[in-house]
């Protein structure tokens, strides 16, 4: 009898702890971005050290740097802000937008910045708590993946962003990418997302 009570209690606790994890599962999942997100967060924490100011003050300092067109300096300050408040999705999204606006010195740095920006947008998407932020994060992520020439991920992210918020600009980007790159080879068959002629 006691064994049945224990088994019931264990099952109830398992449901209590496991179901919320499944409920928070996001639609857009990419293992390579998830792995890169862990690395980026660790790198930012290492680079930022222990923030000496609260995240709100750091965001204001970053905005001041942006007003002076110092995007590299603002990126460093935003890195400190997300290290101080790692669960704040808006900070990660701001970091993604900032990194994507930095003018790279060469192709290698451009690839580095695009990867870092797309990973920051993915982290923002994973940590959002509202549908509006989720749609915005997916839109930014889709644009960045398209710039990285990862068209399947870009199409998937933009499609999910359109489910969250439909805008003419976002629809135009999605339709353009779909018409241009919306096919893939699957087991020697073609799966077309492009509009039929």
What is the average per-residue pLDDT within 110-134? 95
- Per-residue pLDDT of 156-193, as tens digits, reads 999 999 999 999 999 999 999 999 988 766 676 666 77
Cα 63 to Cα 68: distance, rounded to the nearest angstrom: 9
pLDDT score of 130 more than 70: yes
Sign of the CA dihedral running 19, 25, 30, 31: negative
Cα 110 to Cα 129: distance, rounded to the nearest angstrom: 30
Domain boundary pick from 99, 127, 155: 127
- Per-residue pLDDT of 21-76, as tens digits, reads 434 588 899 999 999 999 999 999 998 888 889 999 999 999 999 999 999 999 99
3-state SS of 68-100?
CCCHHHHHHHHHHHHHHCCCCHHHHHHHHHHHH
The answer on 58 and 102 residing in a single domain is yes
pLDDT score of 9 more than 80: no
107-127 and 31-48 are packed helices; what angle lies between their axes, rounded to 10 degrees?
100
Domain boundary pick from 103, 127, 151: 127
Report the phi/psi class of residue 187: left, alpha or beta, with left for phi > 0 and alpha for psi in -120 to 50: left
Give me the pLDDT at residue 159, please. Answer: 95
Q: Residue 51: which domain range?
A: 29-127
């Amino acid at each position: 009898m006691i064994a049945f009570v224990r088994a019931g209690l264990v099952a109830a606790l398992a449901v209590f702890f496991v179901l919320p994890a499944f409920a928070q599962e996001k639609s857009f999942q990419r293992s390579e971005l998830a792995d890169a997100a862990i690395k980026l967060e660790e790198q930012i924490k290492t680079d930022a050290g222990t923030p000496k100011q609260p995240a709100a003050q750091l965001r204001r300092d970053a905005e001041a740097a942006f007003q002076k067109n110092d995007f590299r300096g603002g990126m460093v300050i935003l890195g400190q802000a997300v290290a101080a408040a790692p669960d704040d999705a808006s900070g990660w999204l701001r970091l993604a937008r900032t990194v994507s606006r930095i003018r790279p010195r060469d192709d290698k740095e451009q690839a580095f910045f695009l990867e870092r920006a797309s990973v920051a947008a993915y982290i923002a998407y994973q940590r959002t708590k509202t549908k509006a932020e989720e749609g915005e994060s997916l839109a930014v992520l889709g644009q960045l993946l398209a710039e990285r020439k990862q068209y399947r991920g870009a199409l998937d992210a933009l499609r999910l962003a359109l489910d969250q918020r439909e805008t003419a600009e976002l629809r135009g980007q999605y339709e353009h990418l779909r018409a241009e790159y919306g096919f893939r080879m699957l087991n020697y068959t073609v799966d077309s997302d492009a509009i039929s002629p």
